[in-house]
Amino acid sequence: MTQPPLLIAVDVGGTTTAGGAVTSTGEVVLEERIPTRRDGPGRAVGVIEELIEHLRTAATRLGHPIRGIGVGVPGAVDTVTGRVTADVVHVPELAGVALAAMLERRFGLPVFVDNDVNALALAEWTFGLARGARSLVVLAAGTGFGAGIVLNGRLVRGAGGYGGELGHTPVKFDGPRCFCGGRGCGALYASGRGIADAARARVAGHPDAALQRAAGGDLLAITAPLVFQVAAEGDPIAVAIVDEACQAMGAIIGVVVNGLNPEVVIITGGVVASLAPLETRILKAASEYALPQALAQTRVTIVPSDKRVTMRGAAALVLYEMGKEESR
Ligand SMILES: [Zn+2]
């Protein structure tokens, strides 16, 4: 019996690279993960190729034809050339690499490469919570803060692959320098890195502060989840940082709703397990910044992050790009 065709989907992360063989309805048939740094720093391309090779061999053995390969990377991608830009902080060896062309040569299959949050948006749009919507914005608050935008049935990538950098919209115009080089960005307040940095700055030199004690006196052990935990215990410094995170998230939702008026906004990412109990406060903050009539037409949902969703997004990317080619 002929088996259904599969898409090979890869999500490249700073820590783990997850791959799968996925059906066109999003069902994961095969799955494998390899630590991105398994072969040492600078060797991620070899890990990606090995993962694809394993999945292709296993899928072929089961009798499935392979339609194409999708790869999500944690940075901006010029999808016209399939080249990763210089902005790929967590896997720096991919900077400037023409990954799509390289993998096409190696595997002889169509290959599509895009930013991982764009892949995540395509996953929610194709298989997930935003199925059937014409417009969608995914806000992904992890270590950094990314976003993926689908408008009128098209992914919005911008001129050079930077479309969707909504974490770096300023929410405080006279705010401090951001790690992106800008000022007062939302990511300073609502990303894991921003929350941890803010907490460290406020308790440095105060060994009796609750956050320092909870981290065993080690400033570097202060992480965003720890800040949320200490805030839940009532510490005023941690409470203030969490308040700012909710307010910044509300302001970013305001930018999205007023600027794009999408049908669906999905908030996800590693920080979201911590943000989920704060949903009411985030929505209240959003109502302070968004136009009420626009916000009323947007469904805002907060969901915990799941690496599998991003991986399936790389499969959705292949379907999206091949669908565009077929409709030409
Ligand atoms: Zn920034």
pLDDT tens, residue by residue, 67-77: 999 999 998 89
- The pLDDT of residue 327: 66
Residues in the chain predicted with pLDDT less than 70, given as ranges, are 1, 327-328
Contact between 302 and 276 (Cβ < 8 Å): yes
Query: Which amino acid belongs to residue 218?
Result: D
CB 91 within 8 A of CB 74: yes
* Residue that has been written with the tokens 């996953």 in this structure: 123
Mean pLDDT score of the chain, rounded to an integer? Answer: 94
pLDDT of residue 62: 96
Distance 176 CA to ligand 1 centre (A): 10
* Secondary structure, 3-state, the chain: CCCCCEEEEEEECCCEEEEEEECCCCCEEEEEEEECCCCCCCCHHHHHHHHHHHHHHHHHHCCCCEEEEEEEECCCEECCCCEECCCCCCCHHHCCCCHHHHHHHHHCCCEEEEEHHHHHHHHHHHCCCCCCCCCEEEEEECCCEEEEEEECCEECCCCCCCCCCHHHCECCCCCCECCCCCECECHHHHCHHHHHHHHHHHHCCCCCCHHHHHCCCCHHHCCHHHHHHHHHCCCHHHHHHHHHHHHHHHHHHHHHHHHHCCCEEEEECCCHHHHHHHHHHHHHHHHHHCCHHHHHCCEEEECCCCHHHHHHHHHHHHHHHHHHHHCC
Cα gap 228→275, rounded to integer Å: 9
Whole-number Cα distances in Å, 297 to 95, 131, 243, 267: 39, 16, 26, 16
According to DSSP, the residues that pair with 266 across neighbouring strands are: 138, 301
CA of 88 from ligand 1 middle (Å) equals: 14
Taking a C-beta distance cutoff of 8 angstroms, is the pair 89, 74 a contact? yes
* CA 156 to centroid of ligand 1, rounded, Å: 20
Structure tokens at 169: 């919209």
d(CA 141, CA 268): 6
Residue among 211, 244, 216, 247 at smallest CA distance from 229:
211
Q: How far is the CA of 19 from the centre of ligand 1 (A)?
A: 30
CA of residue 105 to ligand 1 center, whole Å: 36
Interhelix angle 236-260/192-203, nearest 10 degrees: 150
Token reading at 135: 């417009």
| 253-293 pLDDT per residue, tens | 999 999 999 999 999 988 888 888 899 999 999 999 999 99
Report the sign of the C-alpha dihedral through residues 62, 64, 66, 69, in that order: negative
Question: How far is the centre of ligand 1, averaged over its atoms, from the C-alpha of 202 (Å)?
Answer: 20
Name which of 116, 113, 112, 148 is nearest 130 in CA terms: 148
- Closest by CA position to 74, among listed 269, 319, 275: 269
How far does the centroid of ligand 1 lie from the alpha carbon of residue 255, in Å? 15
How remote is the CA of residue 191 from the centroid of ligand 1, in Å?
10
CA–centroid distance, 169 to ligand 1, in Å, is 7
Nearest to 261 by CA among 296, 289, 287: 296
The residue type at 40: G
The predicted pLDDT at position 262 comes to 97
What's the pLDDT at 1? 59
